Structure 1
Amino acid sequence: MKYKASGLEIIGISEDDENHGVADFGKNFGAKFPLGWDQGKSIASKWDPKTMPTSFIVDKKGIVRFVHLGYHDGDEAKMEQQVKSLL
């Protein structure tokens, strides 16, 4: 990952009802970050994602600084600029 040395960590969390398919999803889409399953949806209840996918950019203090709902062309560049602003 491009910013790993700067402390960037990326994780993916599935809130599907069952965990089968999470690992296959990661392999099929070439995920280069760990994927987990939110059994019981305790993480989802805390973070309250409004849609899937939702991306939260969190600073080093654990404060959510940016939220992206869904996926749109150009999101990667926007998110990279936001991440860089926090490093």
Structure 2
Amino acid sequence: MRTATRRLGIVTALVIAAAGAMSVASRADDVSHLAAVHGTAPEFAGIDHWLNSPPLTMRELRGKVVLVDFWTYGCINCFHTLPHVNDWDQRYRGKGLAIIGVHTPEFPNEHVTANVKDAIARYGIHFPVAQDNEYATWNAYGNQYWPAFYLIDKKGHVVYTHVGEGDYEQTEAWIEKLLAEKD
């Protein structure tokens, strides 16, 4: 029942988040307006393991555009977003984009680091992945859904969020806009 309720909640959240993201983005003349709406990005908290990277902090990532991607390998919607996320990593990493996957498990088998490593290899993920088994980073962001993107500007402010699949062109446009901004 918990899973069915959570999945039903995801559908509802997708509709609400899509409308909310569109309305915030359409009202914004510049990124500073969105930073005021969303606030400073929380630090990564309670990470069990860092995969593909040594431990990272938001402070260390200042000066880069950061895409925090909450996902879990058993989520079909997350699986569908990964080709886009992998493509952004490949195309924009050298231009200042840092993608951090935050793997927050839904089911017991998703807590196992070896399973997460297998999924990372299977999906061709080369960006850092933080294993958030205790939901500490998930809770710090106030996140409730898989997948969820939080796009953070060079100053460390969350300026764009998206829940679920889709709107890849809009997300990429925000990435390009933020990368083009002066430091």
Q: Look up the equivalent residue of 2:145 and give its one-letter code.
A: T
What SS is found at the alignment partner of 1:2?
helix
Mapped partners of 2:151, 2:132: distance in 1? 18
The alignment covers a number of residue pairs equal to: 85
What do you get for the CA RMSD once the two structures are aligned?
1.6
CA distance in structure 1 between the partners assigned to 2:171 and 2:125 by the alignment: 17
TM-score of the aligned structures, taking structure 1 as reference length: 0.83
Query: 5+ unaligned residues in a row in structure 1: which ranges?
Result: none
Q: Which has the larger radius of gyration?
A: 2
Normalized per residue, the structure richer in helix is 2
Give unmatched runs, 5+ long, in structure 2.
1-89
Bigger RCO of structures 1 and 2 (CA < 8 A, at least 6 apart): 2
Measure how far apart 1:41 and its partner are.
Answer: 1.6
Q: 3-state SS of the aligned residue for 2:99?
A: coil
Q: What per-residue deviation string (whole Å, max 9, x for no partner) do you get for residues 21-63 of structure 1? A: 2112212222131212013221111112121010111111111
Q: Equivalences for 1:48-87 in 2 at 5 Å?
A: 48-72=142-166, 75-87=167-179
Question: What is the CA-CA distance between 1:80 and the residue it aligns to?
Answer: 1.1
Which of 132, 138, 161 is 1:44 aligned to? 138
